[in-house]
Amino acid sequence: MTAAVVEIRGVSKTFTTGRGPITALEGIDLAIQPGEFVSLIGPSGCGKSTLLRLIGDLTPPTAGSVTVNGKPARQARLNREYGMVFQAPVLMDWRTVQRNVELPLEIMGADKAERARRASAMLDLVELGEFARAYPWQLSGGMQQRVAIARALAFDPKLLLMDEPFGALDEMTRERLNLELMRVWRQTGTTIVFVTHSIPEAVFLSTRVVVMSARPGRISKIVDVDLPQPRTVQTRELDRYFEHITTVREALRRHEGAGPPDERDLEAIRAEGVAG
């Protein structure tokens, strides 16, 4: 087996607040291999976003170690080895779409021709080539998020960190972007770590789903999703797909006690059932 892209060992994270320390993560061990698509899923407050931010060195762990491409997370960040996509597109509305995608390349010192070449290649990848000269506020929410993905991939990082990137979008846009993300993932071979709280989304996209529980945030189960590649519209109609959804949901529920599952997930599954 090749060296892991992400290796997390004995990580815990404690936040100090006005009402005393809060343990967000405890005893996390996780290794992510090249080319994997790993989803982190769990109830709010389980620390899934915090775990993603630890990998990106946007916040330091209280204990344990995080290595990315065999280097400490901080070094990997300084070497610009990962791209980041947030729930909001976070585009700069004084820049055109093209110039937004060029932003990381500018900071990394690429010359003008190289920037233009990479940016148009990435915009073509997310099928927004004709909007290069538009401004972000002229695009829909889904298109803005695709620009954010193009920007994150612009400097060809080996690792893509995505923090609920489609969480703010409507269900139809989300499913279309899920398909598109699958295509991008196949074409680029990038390793992706993906935070979500939608069970169907996690199952549809991932090769592995990491189920987390809250207070303190721990990994409660890792589900291998052996659905065939490439994932397509038909994937959502497979029996195996529903079985995986049930497995993940039960893993979530077991650690939630008697708490009801997320209403939004229930609705999404019901919609799936009708469609199938």
Partner 1 sequence: MTSATTLARGASGSGREALAAVDNRPSRRTRALAMLALFGGVLVVWELAKWLGGDPWRIHTSLFGLPIDYEHFPPFKWRIATDLALPHVWRIVGTFFEPAQRNGPPLAEVLFGNAVFTFGEAFAGFVMGAALGLGLGIVFAQSRTAERAFVPYVVASQTVPIVAIAPLVVIFLPIGWLAVAVIAAYLTFFPVTMGALRGLRSADPRAVELMRSYAASRVEVLRKLSLPSAVPYLFASFRIAASASVVGAIIGELPSGIPYGLGSSILNFKQYYVSGPEKLWATIIAAAALGLVFVGLVRLAEALVRGGRGSLVR
63 DSSP 8-state letter: E
CB of 19 to partner 1, least distance (A): 23
HSE toward the beta carbon, residue 110, CA cutoff 13 A: 18
Residue number with CB closer to partner 1 (159 or 219): 159
Q: How many residues does the chain have?
A: 276
- What is the SS3 assignment for 192? strand
> What does the alpha-carbon distance between residue 8 and residue 51 come to, in Å, rounded to a whole number?
9
Name which of 87, 101, 254, 248 is nearest 174 in CA terms: 87
Closer residue to partner 1 (CB): 106 or 267: 106
**Rounded distance between C-alpha atoms, residue 123 and residue 83, angstroms:** 16
Specify the residue, 8 or 269, whose C-beta has the smaller distance to partner 1: 8
Least spacing, CB of residue 114 vs partner 1, in Å: 16
Closest residue by Cα to residue 261 from 246, 271, 240: 246
CB of residue 77 to partner 1, shortest distance in Å: 6
**SS3 of residue 14 by DSSP:** strand
CB of 268 to partner 1, least distance (A): 26
Give me the residue label for tokens 């090769």: 207
Which is closer to partner 1, CB of 77 or CB of 158? 77
Nearer to partner 1, 78 or 222 (CB): 78
Question: How near is the Cβ of 165 to partner 1 at its closest, in Å?
Answer: 12
SS3 191: strand
Chain positions contacting partner 1, by CB under 8 A: 56, 58, 77-80, 82-84, 86, 88, 90, 92-96, 103-104, 106-108, 135, 137
Tokens of 63: 């204990």
Q: How far is the CB of 107 from partner 1 (least distance, A)?
A: 5
Nearest CB to partner 1, comparing residues 86 and 241: 86
